[in-house]
A and B are shown apart, each in its own frame.
Chain A
Amino acid sequence: MKGIAGSKESNDCLITIESANSTTIEINSIVGAFFYDQIMETVKETLAENNITNVKVIVDDKGALDYTIKSRLLTAIERMKEDV
């Protein structure tokens, strides 16, 4: 199962999430040097809030703010659930 949301426009991010045997989070961000930890925290929190485990998440970030990252991830999760 897989879900994708977002874009690679400036100030946005493209998030891909798919089911896996364990949870891994990969972050590629143009502002990673400054905000890697915060982006990781946002992704982990959002997954925990929605009780999502055993997924592989890839964040392709072009400088999105946390609320953008969170909403893209939530949409990707919904799309993953619909992808049967």
Chain B
Amino acid sequence: MINGAKRYIPDDMCAFISSKNHLNKERKLIERKQKQLNTVFLDSLSDVFDILNIDSNMVLSFHHHLRNGDKVIQLVAEEIRKRELKNLHLAPSSIFPSYTNLVNLIKNGNITNIHTNYLNGEVAKVISQGYLKGKLIMNTHGGRARLIESGDLGIDVAFIACPVVDKYGNGSGAVGKSACGTLGYAISDLEYAKKVVLITDTVVDKLDNYQLDGQFVDYVLTVDSIGDSSGIVSGTTQITNDPIGLKIAKDCANLLDFLGLIKNGFSMQTGAGKTSLAVVKYVEEIMKKNNVVGEFASGGITKAYVDLLEQGLFKKLYDVQCFDLDAVQSFQKNKNHLAMSASEYGNPFEDNPICNKLDFVILGATEIDLDFNVNVTTDSLGNLIGGSGGHADIAYGADVTIIISPLIKSRIPIIKEEVMTVTTPGSDVDILITERGISINPKRLDLRQKLKDSSFPIFDIKELFDLSHKITGVPKKIINNKEIIGFVEYRDGTYLDCIYKVNHGF
């Protein structure tokens, strides 16, 4: 059948209807877990597997707050290999390039199904090539929270890497030698998994402030090290010095200003890319010039936003994961740098998730099509290179969703007739800003009206599409084979698109 984003979905799957369809549905909640009487401390992963009877066919979950420095998923993967467990279903909130020892486990059938929100590197490559025997399901950050709380994915054991744990089993990411800041992606796992194991390298007597409540923690495993600090946080990302990126960022900030979106009490979110950071810098200049104080910025928080908080330009930061060391330190010391869970951030069934309070968001795109559908899941050949993360959540929630991108990346035009994979439906995407022109989604009559007498270079998206082909030539159509290896699951649990095995020879 063809779903609400005009994409093919097999008939037996629950097809995406519209991004507002969750409003017609009831929230489904399983009971929060009951823990055993006392949190038990162990120092051998093998004991954890024995005591919990971790066996083939189980569902194991992880979070990705330690990012490319994570040692916990590797540790558990090694134990799976030693025990030759089969048909495991893994649910890490993201998969990073360093998680290399999952590759053979996938190839050998130890891991056969995966739910995740983002994946990159060698694991993404082997899944694109069709090695995962079951299916890959790509969720959004908010959608993963919904998936777990509803019991649609029952987690047998959640392995939660935790930089510091106290003797009562309470945990925090704010301090410890592997400090990573907030642990927002782990909260649903903590509250709804059948069994919860915190894995830590730092145990203290008592934590006064903690994000993970010991009442949900069954076991604490202590190991030498849960993470490699150089991979946990990126160094401070520099603002782009690419003239194209700077032009896009400047146009974006000026457009926001023109639309009156940079006003007292406003809220925003951007990605952490170099061009996004330039947007933040230009927005900051406008805020200072006009004496504007914003209500909050949210997201994966970076130094750019910490600076705004500390200058009093924003009242609060809502942070689901800290992207750099400055954000980790700010999370420790600034009381208005607040943690949020993935559910509070983007779960469509929360009463009022943070994403719904956003005035505008600035997002990237690997591809965007004539219907404004955005792909950040695969490249133009269909290879897995990312995933929604919070993309679809905040695109839905924000009043104005802006995509910034160069019109052409290494000869590849970013505007397509149809994207290879729909990550975020075009109904939630309002404005595309490229260095050669701006396009407004025809559905946003209000924005078109406001901008019609402005001096911004505004075009139909088809005009920008034609312009890019004039520059690059018309790219040959890629016909991928139609072997389905997975699905993009929309935040409400419906299926937005299929993910296909890539052709060999590219």
Residues of A within 8 A of B (CB): 10-11, 30-31, 33-38, 62-66
Evaluate contact between A64 and B381: CB separation under 8 angstroms.
no
Evaluate contact between B506 and A35: CB separation under 8 angstroms.
no
Complex alpha-carbon distance, A37 and B473, angstroms: 11
Complex alpha-carbon distance, A73 and B380, angstroms: 28
Given the contacts A65-B472, A66-B473, A34 and B412 also touching, CB distance less than 8 Å:
yes
Candidates A11, A35, A62, A66; contact of B475 at CB < 8 Å: A35
Candidates B471, B472, B506; contact of A33 at CB < 8 Å: B506
Residue of A nearest to B413 (CB): A34
Per CB-CB distance, the 5 closest pairs between chain A and chain B, nearest first, are A63-B410, A34-B475, A63-B411, A38-B473, A31-B411
Can you give 27 A-B contacts (C-beta < 8 A)? A10-B410, A11-B410, A11-B411, A30-B410, A31-B412, A31-B475, A33-B381, A33-B476, A33-B478, A34-B412, A34-B475, A34-B476, A34-B478, A35-B411, A35-B473, A35-B475, A35-B476, A36-B476, A37-B476, A38-B473, A63-B409, A63-B411, A63-B412, A65-B411, A65-B471, A65-B472, A66-B473
Complex alpha-carbon distance, A10 and B409, angstroms: 9
How many chain B residues touch the partner (CB < 8 A)?
Answer: 13
**Contacts A11-B410, A33-B476, A34-B412 supplied; 15 other A-B pairs, CB < 8 Å:** A11-B411, A30-B410, A31-B412, A34-B380, A35-B472, A35-B473, A35-B475, A36-B476, A63-B409, A63-B410, A63-B411, A63-B412, A64-B411, A65-B411, A65-B471
Complex alpha-carbon distance, A66 and B473, angstroms: 8
Complex alpha-carbon distance, A62 and B506, angstroms: 15
Q: Which residues of A contact B412 (CB under 8 A)?
A: 31, 34, 63
Residues of B within 8 A of A (CB): 380-381, 409-412, 471-473, 475-476, 478, 506
What number of residue pairs across chains A and B have CB atoms under 8 A from each other?
A: 36
Q: Which residues of A contact B409 (CB under 8 A)?
A: 63
The listed residue with most B CB atoms (<10 A of its CB), out of A10, A31, A36, A37, is: A31
Give min CB distance, A27 to chain B, whole Å.
13
Residue of B nearest to A41 (CB): B473
Give min CB distance, B296 to chain A, whole Å.
36
Complex alpha-carbon distance, A11 and B476, angstroms: 18
Residue of B nearest to A10 (CB): B410
Q: Which residues of A contact B381 (CB under 8 A)?
A: 33
The listed residue with most B CB atoms (<10 A of its CB), out of A10, A34, A35, is: A34
Complex alpha-carbon distance, A53 and B471, angstroms: 29
Complex alpha-carbon distance, A36 and B409, angstroms: 17
The listed residue with most A CB atoms (<10 A of its CB), out of B410, B411, B478, B506, is: B411
Complex alpha-carbon distance, A37 and B475, angstroms: 10
Complex alpha-carbon distance, A82 and B410, angstroms: 31
Q: Which residues of B contact A11 (CB under 8 A)?
A: 410-411
Q: Which residues of B contact A35 (CB under 8 A)?
A: 411, 472-473, 475-476
Complex alpha-carbon distance, A33 and B380, angstroms: 10
